[in-house]
Amino acid sequence: MSRKLDEKRKDILENEIGTVFKNKGLTPVSVALIYPNTYYVGQSNLGFQTIYGILNKRLDVRCERAFIPEEEDEKELKRINQHLFSLESGQLLKEFDFLAFSISFELDYVNVIKILDLAGIPVFSEDRDDQYPLIIAGGPCMTFNPEPLADILDLVIIGEGEEVINELFDLYSSHLTGDLVINRDKFLLEAAKIPGVYVPKFYQEQYDEGGKYLGTKPVVEGVPEKITRRWIKNLDDFPTRSVILTPNTEFGNMFLIEVSRGCGRHCRFCMAGYCYRPPRVRSLKSILKQVEEGKEHRDRIGLMGAAISDYPWIDELCKELNANNLSVSVASFRVDSVTPTLLKTLVAGGLRTLTVAPEAGSERLRKVINKGISEEDIMKASCIALQEGMEQIRYYLMIGLPTETEGDLQEIVNLIEKVNKHAKQFRKGGFRKISLSVNPFIPKPFTPFQWEAMDYRVNLEKKIKWLKQHLNKYKNLEISAESPRLTVIQGLLARGDRKLSKVLVSAYRAGGNLTAWKKALGEEGLDFDFYLYRQRTKEEIFPWDHLDWGVDKEYLWEERLKAEKKEFTPSCLPNSCRRCGVCGKEEGN
């Protein structure tokens, strides 16, 4: 390894607390856990850290980490003709038994290809034999639709990994012979029988004579027709908090603790709301135990979860944190459930910008998406923000939502005008800064909008331009918008099928821009229209229908119809409700 790269590796490690170093000779199984983005991004991901902790607790496994190298490091690797290596020991990735990817974003799929290329490992599973590691993956994106990576991955974890990862490695260890070799196919066949484990090569896409997709079905005996999503019944059994601390990451100054998982609010566009059902919370006692550990290392606690303000004991938790002189940050909160105690705690902890996610400018469209936030809530939030001394506010809004009209866009402009006027009642000059973050809507699998067509890129670009023009007069307003070009690629991968594995590799190798994607799709006889801009009928069979999330497809369709009628769906009631199927079936079904 070059001295420069080795010094950088050691420098990263020197800044970490909690790193696990194991002796190569003492553990029969080695895993390189990979976040397909930079160290700075990946090291703040709690799911990634949790799996690192669980695997290294095992006596039979040595788990090390790897990330996408910085640009200059990638150049150096290529210059010295060296393959990518792990962080802890500098071992080449291709020498591990497993490469385990933790994938949270569709746009990181290309980084999976990049890492395999940099590691000197053939990208497609059919080109790899026993001399290469098994390539496995998990994380939110793999749970909702792993198909675009199906020809690349050997095995996928569907759902939450805490329990299934141990079952998988117990099985692997039981298959190891005395001289540490394994019959891979035998292992994979047994693994595919573990609930939550998907081995793509044991399934194939089926088409009728006219080329119509009929579903993805097992092609070997003994594997299940549908792969069940795994989820943890009792979060307290698996404390989820920072395992490795380092200043060199996004949330480097905090000790992160997961407070809750899932969200019961039923926003119809939100993959996170469906992916982690049912909503679950940790006990206050369990969180406080983790706080005790965290305060040894950091004086700031980052509370993680979909909507922290919905946590039932949030005030008690804040009081305890305040009593311990710990400052607090939260991943996100809802304006309609934020308590004065939580807000005061956050302000005392340095919060200077209130973030609100109305998602749509008009009341009508917020009803379509079941956002459950009224204009009154939005105004109340701005009033609270200013009363608490926050002079900045940030709004998250989406464009291209189903049924959106020009009137809905105009309502965004009206909303900003109203907020500005309203704010002047509380502070001379109103907000010092209003940030508007505009994100194009992407239909996601396992949501009521999985049947929807996505808005055309040119339309999205026009809408962003229109908003910028019409909001230009507000000097305190700053608009940032997600690039519709990237949105198109993200949308393609979100609802993609197995044919996209080849497209993904070709597009990446051709530079990864939109032209490269178009060309790569064309080479396979495919196009964006089919994946993105097509309104699906109720009968559509999706490339992810062989995954069983527990949510009834019929329920999702009913939610879609309710969206058309702007009907409200109330929050989850996990102890009594059987609506969507995740918490059990309704009597008689």
By the rule CB under 6 A, 585 interacts with ligand SF4: no
E strand intervals along 139-182: 155-157
Looking at beta carbons only, is 287 or 307 nearer to ligand SF4?
A: 307
**Residue 574 in contact with ligand SF4, rule: CB under 6 A:** yes
- Which residues, including other chains, have CB under 8 Å from residue 470's CB and lie 6 or more apart? 410, 413
Please pick, from the candidates 134, 354, 504, 582, the single residue that binds ligand SF4 as defined by CB under 6 A: 582
- Show the site string, 326-365: x = touches ligand SF4 by CB under 6 A, - = not: --------x-------------------------------
- Containing 117, the helix (H) or strand (E) segment is helix 109-119
| Nearest distance in Å: CB 571, ligand SF4 | 8
292 in Cβ contact with 239 (< 8 Å): no
CB of 261 to ligand SF4, least distance (A): 11
Q: Token pair for residue 21? A: 């170093």
Calculate Rg over the CA atoms of the chain: 24
Per-residue binder mask for ligand SF4 (CB under 6 A), 205-244, x = binder: ----------------------------------------
Stretch that binds ligand SF4, among 123-131, 191-199, 231-239, 571-579 (CB under 6 A): 571-579
Kindly state the smallest distance separating residue 584's Cβ from ligand SF4, in Å.
Answer: 7
548 forms part of the interface with ligand SF4 (CB under 6 A) = no
Residue 93 CB partners (closer than 8 Å, separation 6+): 32, 34, 66, 83, 84, 85, 86, 99, 115, 119, 121, 133
Reference 328, options 348, 307, 355, 352; nearest CA is 348
- Region 173-212 residues binding ligand SF4, contact defined as CB under 6 A: none
Nearer to ligand SF4, 263 or 479 (CB): 263
List of E strands, 377-501:
392-399, 433-440, 477-481
What is the pattern of x (binds ligand SF4, CB under 6 A) and - over residues 293-322? Answer: -------------xx---------------
**Residue 233: CB minimum distance to ligand SF4, A:** 12
Tell me: does residue 572 bind ligand SF4 (CB under 6 A).
Answer: yes
Q: CB-based contacts of 537: which residues, under 8 Å, 6+ apart?
A: 451
Beta-bridged to residue 257, according to DSSP, are: 241, 303
Q: Which one-letter DSSP state was computed for residue 199? A: -
Shortest reach from residue 310's CB to ligand SF4, in Å: 8
| Category of 525 on φ-ψ map: left (φ > 0), alpha (ψ -120 to 50) or beta | left
Output 161 or 279, the one with its CB closest to ligand SF4: 279
What is the pattern of x (binds ligand SF4, CB under 6 A) and - over residues 246-275? -----------------xxx-x--x-xx--
Neighbouring residues of 338: CB distance < 8 A, sequence distance ≥ 6:
309, 381, 384
In 3D space, the residue among 256, 257, 254 whose CA is nearest the CA of residue 298 turns out to be 254
* Residue 568 tokens, joined: 């409200």
d(C-alpha 430, C-alpha 279), whole Å: 37
Binding test (CB under 6 A) with ligand SF4, winner from 139, 148, 278, 400: 278
Pick 307 or 356: Cβ nearer ligand SF4:
307
Residue from 284, 384, 453, 577 touching ligand SF4 (CB under 6 A): that is 577
Binding span for ligand SF4 by CB under 6 A among 26-34, 82-90, 535-543, 576-584: 576-584
The torsion of the CA quartet 79, 83, 84, 90, rounded to 10 degrees, works out to -100
Size of the site for ligand SF4 (CB under 6 A): 21
Give all strands (DSSP E) within 182-229, no chain letters.
197-198, 203-207, 213-218, 227-228
Is 280 an interacting residue with respect to ligand SF4 (CB under 6 A)? no
Sole binder of ligand SF4 in the list 17, 486, 561, 573 (CB under 6 A): 573
Give the shortest CB-477-to-ligand SF4 separation in angstroms: 23
Measured in whole angstroms, the distance separating CA 42 from the mean position of its chain's CA atoms is 12
Interface of this chain with ligand SF4, residues 119 to 138, rule: CB under 6 A: none
Q: CA 112 → CA 149, 332, 387, distances in Å?
A: 9, 29, 47
Closer residue to ligand SF4, CB minimum distance, 120 or 584: 584
Site membership for ligand SF4, residue 84 (CB under 6 A): no
Name the 3-class secondary structure at 257. Answer: strand
Task: Give the pair of three-digit tokens for residue 398.
Answer: 């989406």
Q: How far is the CB of 574 from ligand SF4 (least distance, A)?
A: 4
Q: How far is the CB of 437 from ligand SF4 (least distance, A)?
A: 14
277 binds ligand SF4, rule: CB under 6 A: yes
**Which residues of this protein are in contact with ligand SF4, per CB under 6 A?**
263-265, 267, 270, 272-273, 277-278, 306-307, 334, 572-574, 577-580, 582-583
